[in-house]
């Protein structure tokens, strides 16, 4: 059975698990915390990051690479648009989540409110959180609101890797105790509510919530 290496706190591990669920692929999860990883793990993930993935004797690292592999290995249901432009948009929004949103939601909100206090004994720097929530994140939400052209999906008419890449970051925002103001960003709030209600996301949110509720 395929194995995902990583932990629930990671939006990137969650991204891979959502893709696996959407495609109906059974898998195991082997917990790996990406701090001082073993030499054995670095053979699978040379940068020491999560997730990594094993499928038989094949191993891969990086969530985007793993998801692309799963799409080729299990093409139905497709999570990458067939139209060239919509395909590129899906990849862009996946990247926007991976590199853009995570730099604010992950580093400045989720780490400060959840990971630091729970796992490292750090005190939350509320000034960092307040600036991220009130100054840094809103322009990103404005951008996403404007890119939901039909009010449904980010790339094409169907659920795609772009929606997964964005949606997984907002699960971390939710675990940190924040959400998207539906009055200010109505299309984005409705989009996220629909995405997070899908069985692939909903099951993981339910699995993770007790771990992060104590923050």
pTM: 0.96
The Cα 104–Cα 143 span in angstroms is 14
60 backbone dihedrals φ, ψ, rounded to 5°: -140, 155
The Cα 150–Cα 187 span in angstroms is 9
**pLDDT by residue for the chain (215 residues), tens digit each?**
999 999 988 999 999 999 999 999 999 999 999 989 999 999 999 999 999 999 999 999 999 999 999 999 999 999 999 999 999 999 999 999 999 999 999 999 999 999 888 878 899 999 999 999 999 999 999 999 999 977 689 998 999 999 999 999 999 999 999 999 999 999 999 999 999 999 999 999 999 988 876 55
CB 31 within 8 A of CB 119: no
For residue 181, whether the previous peptide bond is cis, meaning omega lies within 30 degrees of 0, is: no
Residue of 186, 152, 140, 193 whose CA lies nearest to 171 = 193
């Amino acid at each position: 059975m395929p194995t995902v290496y990583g932990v629930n706190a990671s939006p990137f591990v969650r991204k891979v698990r959502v893709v696996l669920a959407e495609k109906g692929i059974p898998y195991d999860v082997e917990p790996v915390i990406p701090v001082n990883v073993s030499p054995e793990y670095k053979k699978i993930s040379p940068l020491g990051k999560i997730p990594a993935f094993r499928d038989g004797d094949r191993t891969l690292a990086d969530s985007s690479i793993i998801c692309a592999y799963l799409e080729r290995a299990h093409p139905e249901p497709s999570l990458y648009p067939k139209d060239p432009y919509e395909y590129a948009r899906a990849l862009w929004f996946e990247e926007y989540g991976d590199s853009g949103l995570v730099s604010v939601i992950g580093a400045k909100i989720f780490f400060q409110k959840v990971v630091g206090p729970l796992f490292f004994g750090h005190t939350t720097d509320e000034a960092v959180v307040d600036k991220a929530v009130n100054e840094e994140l809103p322009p990103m939400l404005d951008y996403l609101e404007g890119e939901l052209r039909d009010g449904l999906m980010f790339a094409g008419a169907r659920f795609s890797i772009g929606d997964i890449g964005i949606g997984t970051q907002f699960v971390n925002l939710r675990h940190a105790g924040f959400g998207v103001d539906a009055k200010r960003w109505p299309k984005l709030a409705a989009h996220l509510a629909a995405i997070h209600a899908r069985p692939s996301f909903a099951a993981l949110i339910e699995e993770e919530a007790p771990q992060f509720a104590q923050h």
